Each structure stands twice: as structure tokens, then as C-alpha cells.
């Protein structure tokens, strides 16, 4: 048995050894000091064999010569022709200067300068390596123009997420640093490629990169599984890129020249509209000569950028910036998207204002808002979205078939086609109604429809921004008509999101101590009246509505038979109101079930009281 100290020493040796290696991403882990908190198991798990790595170690002097920039690449005159326009980002005068093997190396021929980063640039023992404030200063000074961020690797499992992606992408968005995204592939078959596309789409939800989402193809395990089949590897790339494109994200493939020549049909991908990012590392000063197929040239892993400790991969945009900008703004539908005729030519927006998109997928940027009951024309459908005659796209679950009311007899609505409107929200003369499956509108009650509760007055109009009694229960409705259920106090500064989970878009911070009102709960998340969500665990929330009044009115004296804190309603989940000591005398004004309402309006269980004669 080894002593505890000798075990610790061996672990230390393992960590130091691993810290001198690299992860499969190609993002260099530089120096033992900067790798102190990296989990050795994770390093081993993410080590891979590729054109850059062997058993997790960077091939340097003996690396594949086809991965090194040199005269073996035929020069494409068109790609080297400088833009006629002058000015920032329009001329090929951007360059990276770095040291390799003790000598100065300069890579030129770019319109813009970029870097690519992952978790390996971020982690240390007590803080993150990337100081995005300093990186932003480099951007502001024109020393850096864009960043490409790893979102994860392998199939769609959270354990394969890049743990720093959310931090990195939010920093870029907050500081307005243009960014793209990449996912490292381990695909062995078509199902893996589909799952990797889902992986990227899950992490991209709510994010809109200004550069493409790239499929990183370099791992030798892919070649082993496919028998180095060019058609199979290209098919994996097309599966990934088409799924990203169909959801509105510009997509592409990252690889080195050997892969693009032997294992990937680059021209076919280019012809399909996908972008290509070439990795060719310079060992001496070079000007880009990779040809016109590629948009970005990764020229080295030896770059230095203010705000990032250690080495970082550096890139040059070698396509004319104006062409790249047009590519990213082009909102035409990809040829891989299956567009079908719609089963309806007109429709209505369901209750609740919705944000449309410029295309049929979450990657297309949001367009204008549509209010409930808005009558719209429908042209076609694709990818679970409907194309409106306004040019916008909405999700299939956000519209109804036509229910435009022609007549209202006070109980039922008749549509223009003469049929009774059923199971639908109806907007009529400025009010909103709900017709049940029988056609009868809901009146004088609170009803749960879908995921929310709504109130309807005696005429059937939905209650909005009011407090109203329904029998012995009083409800409060916000300005959208949602019934408020709980009052909550934020007990810790918290991030709110557009949906019930961390995968949803970041919508800002809610300060500690702020009072909010909850309209519904989903899993471990609570939705506030502004529509945004916070973790329920970060709130102190108790029932607030409905407020009850007694079913039976009485007037009698009673005594507390134990110390008890009364509630604002006849359930223990209601808000605490007042603490009564054992023996205190109170007046009961009414009862509701097994609870008594006191003269102050608060409630105490009947079993806590002894009636005084």
C-alpha cells in the first residue's frame, strides 16, 4: 500500500504530465501552472488522435506535413485579389505575427483576424483564463475581429457540452464581439452525425452567431469507423450542415487540406452552400494561398491575444468581408429544406402575442410580433413552421384554423363560413373570449386553458388587469389576462430566461429582495408576469391567489390552543400574516372548510382554536 503522500505525488505527476498535452479540440493547454484544476479523467476522455494529436499530444515537428502551409497548395489568383474598396475589413492587409521555434512568423492575406477558443482557454484553479474585457479592448483597437467558440463535442449529451460555452458566448454577445461556433465530431455513422447536429442546435438556442456554425472533422476514429470512405465522411458533414441550415444557421466544415483532399468532398459541400474553414499551420512567414474555396484560414496554434493566457489558435478571414457578410445575411431557404403546401390558406394567431421569425427555424432572427386573434394568410409550411403572407414564419402550434367571427349571439360565435366556432380563442369587438368544444363561451368562471388560468366575466370577456370575485374566491389577473398564483421574493440575485431552463435565452438579472408575481410553474422554474422565468429555488414564494371569503358567516370568540402563524388564505401554502400566542383570544367571522377566518381577514385552522361559550 502506498502512503497518502506518495499517492498525492503520483497524482501531481499525472496532472503535470497531462497539462503539457492538448485536448482533442486543438486548443492548446499551455503549461502546468495554467492547468491546475483540469480533471485528469476529462483530459484523457477528450484526448484524441487526429492530424494534430497523437494520444492527446500535439504533433509538432513530426506533424503531418499536409497540415503545414506550403507550396503544395496551388495558389488561386482570385482568392488573392485584394478588394477594390479601401477601409476596415475590406482589404487583405490583416496579419498574425507570432513566434514559432524561436523565430518570428508572419501570416498575411486576411480581411479580418480571429481566434478560436474552448474550455481549455478558460479554466484555472480559481478563475477563468479568458478576460473578455481585455479581448474586447483588442477588438476595439482593430487587433482582433471575431471569435469562434466551441460549443461541445460528440453526440447530444450534456456531458459532452463545452462547460465554458455559455460563459464565452454570453461574453461575446454582451460585449458585441462577432462570433461563430464549432462542434468537434466523433461521428461513426449517420445517426451520430444527426445527434451531433441536435447537440449543436440545443446549445445554440437563443443565440445568433454572425459567423457560421462549423463541423470540426479531424478525429482519426471517424476514419477508422468509415474505412476512410470519402463519401461517408462527406455524408456526415452534409447531415450536420443541412440540419443546421434548415434551422436558420449558416453552417460549414473545418478540416485540414489532407481531409479536404482525401476524406471530404469540399467542392460538393461548397456547391451545397456550406462554408469551409481550412487549417494549415505556417512554420515560416506565409501569405494565404489556399484557394477560393475557403473562407477562413487557421494559420497557427501559437497566437497570443491580450486577455488569454498561453497559446491560442489564430485565424484569418481570407474571403472578401463583403462577400462573407452577404452570405451571413442571406435569408433564402436552403435547398435541403422540405417545403410543403399548407393545409390551410388562412389562420389566426392563438392567444398571447408571439414573435415570428424570418425563416422556419430558431436560427432565423426574430421578426415582428403578432397579437392574439390576428387574421393571417398562410402560404406554405416547413420544419414545423408556417409561412405567412407577410413573409414571416411562425411555429405550427402558434396558429389556429380560421375562426374569424361573423356573429355573436351572446353564447356562441358563428364564423364567416357559417360554422360554429369551437375550442378556440376568439377576438371580437376588442374583447377576447374562449369557445369550448361545444361552442359555448366560458362565462363567470376561472378556467385553466392550456398551461395557464384565465378568468371570464358575466359576458364571457376575458379579465385583464383586474381583481375579481368568482363565488367565494377572488383572483387577480395581469395585463395579459394570466391569473396570478403566487407572490415571490427573490432570495438571491438570479438570471432570468425566456423559458423554463438554462438552455433558454438569457434575459437579464433579477436583484435579491425584489418582489415578483408568478403565473405558473414548470419543473424547477417559475414564470413571472413579465413572461420570463427564474429558478424556483432562488425564490421564497407562497400562495397569494385566489383569496377566499367564508362560506359560512359567524361571529364568535375563540382561543388559540397553541402558538400559530395565521395565513392569508385557508391553506398552509398561503402567505404568513400574524403570529398568535397560545391562549390569545380572537374573533371568528366565518369558516371555509376546515379553516376559520379571523376579524383581521387572516386564516387559522379550526383545530388550532377552542371556541369560547
Pull the grid cell for residue 575: 402567505
- Place 6 in a pLDDT band, splitting at 50, 70 and 90: very low
The answer to whether position 30 is within a domain reads: no
- Model confidence pLDDT, tens digit, residues 515-525: 999 999 988 99
* CATH number of the domain residue 278 falls in: 3.20.20.80
448 in the same domain as 303: no
Cβ neighbours of residue 489 closer than 8 Å, sequence gap 6 or more = 513, 514, 515, 516, 539, 540, 541
Largest CA distance in the chain: 106
174 in the same domain as 267: yes
Which run of H or of E encompasses 424?
strand 424-428
Instruction: Choose the final residue of a domain: 329, 357, 387.
Output: 329
Nearest to 282 by CA among 297, 305, 300: 300
SS3 166: helix
346 in the same domain as 486: no
325 in the same domain as 244: yes
The percent of residues above 90 in pLDDT, for the chain, comes to 67
491 in the same domain as 573: no
Cβ neighbours of residue 328 closer than 8 Å, sequence gap 6 or more = 210, 211, 212, 250
What's the CA gap between 456 and 464, in Å, rounded?
A: 9
What pLDDT does residue 181 have? 98
What pLDDT does residue 202 have? 96
Which run of H or of E encompasses 117?
strand 112-117
Nearest to 255 by CA among 63, 78, 26, 23: 26
Q: Yes or no: say if 433 and 460 are a contact pair by the CB < 8 Å rule.
A: yes
**Could you list the residue range(s) of the whole structural domain that residue 458 is in?**
442-547
382 in the same domain as 237: no
DSSP string, 63-83: S-GGGB-STTSPP-HHHHPPP
- Model confidence pLDDT, tens digit, residues 361-380: 999 989 998 887 788 889 99
* CATH number of the domain residue 351 falls in: 2.30.30.40
Residue 44: pLDDT over 60: no
What pLDDT does residue 35 have? 28
User: Hey, what long-range contacts does 221-228 have (CB within 8 A, 24 or more apart)?
Assistant: 221/48, 221/49, 221/186, 221/188, 222/185, 222/186, 222/187, 222/188, 223/263, 225/187, 225/188, 225/189, 226/188, 228/262, 228/263
Instruction: Choose the final residue of a domain: 523, 547, 571.
Output: 547
Which run of H or of E encompasses 45?
helix 40-46
The answer to whether position 171 is within a domain reads: yes
229 in the same domain as 145: yes
The answer to whether position 51 is within a domain reads: no
Residue 64: pLDDT over 50: no
- Model confidence pLDDT, tens digit, residues 502-515: 877 778 899 999 99
What pLDDT does residue 175 have? 95
The alpha-helical segments, DSSP class H, found in 116-164 are: 132-140
The answer to whether position 411 is within a domain reads: no
176 in the same domain as 84: yes
Number of domains in the chain: 4
* CATH number of the domain residue 526 falls in: 2.30.30
The answer to whether position 114 is within a domain reads: yes
SS3 489: strand
The average pLDDT across 393-419 equals 83
What pLDDT does residue 89 have? 74
The answer to whether position 271 is within a domain reads: yes
The answer to whether position 289 is within a domain reads: yes
Q: Yes or no: say if 574 and 567 are a contact pair by the CB < 8 Å rule.
A: yes
Question: In this structure, how many other beta carbons lie within 10 angstroms of the beta carbon of residue 208?
Answer: 16
Nearest to 66 by CA among 255, 214, 224, 294: 255
97 in the same domain as 227: yes
305 in the same domain as 177: yes
- Model confidence pLDDT, tens digit, residues 235-268: 999 999 999 999 999 999 999 999 999 999 999 9
Phi/psi class of residue 593: alpha, beta or left (left: φ > 0; alpha: ψ in -120 to 50)?
left
DSSP 257: H
> Distances from the Cα of 313 to the Cαs of 105, 247, 289, 308, 570, in angstroms?
14, 29, 19, 11, 63
User: Hey, what long-range contacts does 251-254 have (CB within 8 A, 24 or more apart)?
Assistant: 251/212, 251/213, 251/214, 251/215, 251/275, 252/212, 252/213, 252/214, 252/215, 252/276, 252/277, 252/295, 253/214, 253/215, 253/217, 253/277, 254/182, 254/214, 254/215, 254/216, 254/217, 254/218, 254/279, 254/298
What pLDDT does residue 427 have? 83
CA 299 to chain centre: 31
346 in the same domain as 461: no
The answer to whether position 395 is within a domain reads: yes
252 in the same domain as 162: yes
Instruction: Choose the final residue of a domain: 310, 329, 348.
Output: 329
Amino acid at each position: 500500500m502506498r502512503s497518502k503522500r506518495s499517492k498525492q505525488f503520483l497524482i501531481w505527476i499525472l496532472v503535470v504530465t497531462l497539462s503539457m498535452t492538448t485536448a482533442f479540440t486543438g486548443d492548446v493547454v499551455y503549461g502546468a501552472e495554467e492547468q491546475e484544476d483540469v480533471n485528469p479523467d476529462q483530459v484523457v476522455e477528450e484526448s484524441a488522435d487526429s492530424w494534430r494529436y497523437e494520444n492527446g499530444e500535439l504533433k509538432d515537428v513530426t506533424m503531418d506535413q499536409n497540415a503545414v502551409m506550403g507550396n503544395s497548395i496551388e495558389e488561386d489568383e482570385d482568392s488573392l485579389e485584394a478588394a477594390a474598396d479601401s477601409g476596415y475589413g475590406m482589404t487583405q492587409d490583416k496579419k498574425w505575427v507570432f513566434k514559432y521555434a524561436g523565430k518570428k512568423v508572419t501570416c498575411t492575406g486576411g480581411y479580418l483576424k480571429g481566434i478560436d477558443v474552448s474550455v481549455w482557454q478558460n479554466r484555472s484553479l480559481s478563475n477563468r483564463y479568458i478576460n473578455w474585457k481585455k479581448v474586447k479592448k483588442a477588438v476595439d483597437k482593430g487587433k482582433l475581429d471575431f471569435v469562434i467558440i466551441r460549443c461541445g463535442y460528440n453526440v447530444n449529451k450534456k456531458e459532452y457540452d463545452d462547460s465554458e460555452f455559455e460563459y464565452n458566448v454570453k461574453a461575446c454577445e454582451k460585449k458585441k464581439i462577432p462570433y461563430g461556433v464549432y462542434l468537434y465530431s466523433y461521428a461513426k455513422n449517420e445517426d451520430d452525425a444527426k445527434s451531433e447536429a441536435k447537440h449543436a442546435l440545443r446549445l445554440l438556442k437563443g443565440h445568433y452567431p454572425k459567423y457560421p456554425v462549423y463541423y470540426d472533422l479531424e478525429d482519426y476514429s471517424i476514419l477508422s469507423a468509415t474505412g476512410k470512405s470519402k463519401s461517408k465522411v462527406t455524408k456526415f458533414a452534409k447531415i450536420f450542415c443541412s440540419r443546421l441550415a434548415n434551422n436558420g444557421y449558416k453552417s460549414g466544415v473545418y478540416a485540414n487540406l489532407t481531409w479536404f483532399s482525401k476524406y471530404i468532398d469540399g467542392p460538393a459541400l461548397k456547391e451545397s452552400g456550406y462554408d469551409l474553414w481550412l487549417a494549415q499551420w505556417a512554420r515560416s512567414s506565409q501569405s494565404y494561398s489556399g484557394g477560393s474555396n475557403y473562407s477562413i484560414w487557421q494559420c497557427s496554434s501559437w497566437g497570443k491575444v491580450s486577455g488569454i493566457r498561453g497559446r491560442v489558435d489564430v485565424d484569418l478571414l481570407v474571403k472578401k468581408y463583403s462577400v462573407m457578410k452577404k452570405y451571413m445575411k442571406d435569408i433564402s431557404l436552403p435547398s435541403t429544406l422540405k417545403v410543403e403546401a399548407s393545409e390551410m390558406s388562412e389562420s389566426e394567431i392563438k392567444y398571447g402575442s408571439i414573435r415570428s421569425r424570418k425563416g422556419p427555424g430558431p436560427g432565423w432572427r426574430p421578426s415582428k410580433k403578432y397579437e392574439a386573434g390576428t387574421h393571417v394568410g398562410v402560404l406554405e409550411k416547413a420544419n414545423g413552421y408556417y409561412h405567412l403572407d407577410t413573409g414571416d414564419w411562425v411555429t405550427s402550434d402558434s396558429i389556429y384554423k380560421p375562426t374569424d367571427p361573423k356573429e355573436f349571439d351572446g353564447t356562441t360565435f358563428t364564423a364567416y363560413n357559417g360554422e360554429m366556432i369551437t375550442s378556440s380563442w376568439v377576438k371580437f369587438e376588442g374583447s377576447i373570449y374562449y369557445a369550448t368544444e361545444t361552442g359555448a363561451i366560458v362565462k363567470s368562471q376561472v378556467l385553466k386553458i392550456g398551461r395557464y388560468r384565465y378568468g371570464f366575466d358575466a359576458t364571457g370577456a376575458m379579465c385583464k388587469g383586474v381583481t375579481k370575485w368568482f363565488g367565494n374566491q377572488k383572483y387577480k389577473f395581469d395585463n395579459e389576462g394570466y391569473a396570478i398564483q403566487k407572490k415571490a421574493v427573490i432570495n438571491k440575485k438570479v438570471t432570468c430566461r425566456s423559458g423554463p431552463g438554462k438552455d433558454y435565452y438569457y434575459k437579464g438579472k433579477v436583484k435579491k429582495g425584489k418582489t415578483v408575481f408568478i403565473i405558473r410553474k414548470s419543473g424547477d422554474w417559475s414564470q413571472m408576469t413579465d413572461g420570463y422565468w427564474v429558478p424556483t429555488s432562488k425564490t421564497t414564494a407562497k400562495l397569494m391567489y385566489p383569496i377566499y371569503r367564508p362560506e359560512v358567516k359567524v361571529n364568535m370568540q375563540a382561543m388559540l390552543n397553541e402558538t400559530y402563524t395565521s395565513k392569508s388564505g385557508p391553506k398552509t401554502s398561503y402567505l404568513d400574516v400574524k403570529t398568535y400566542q397560545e391562549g390569545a383570544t380572537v374573533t371568528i367571522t366565518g369558516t371555509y372548510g376546515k379553516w376559520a377566518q379571523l376579524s383581521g381577514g387572516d386564516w387559522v385552522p379550526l383545530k388550532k382554536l377552542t371556541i369560547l361559550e
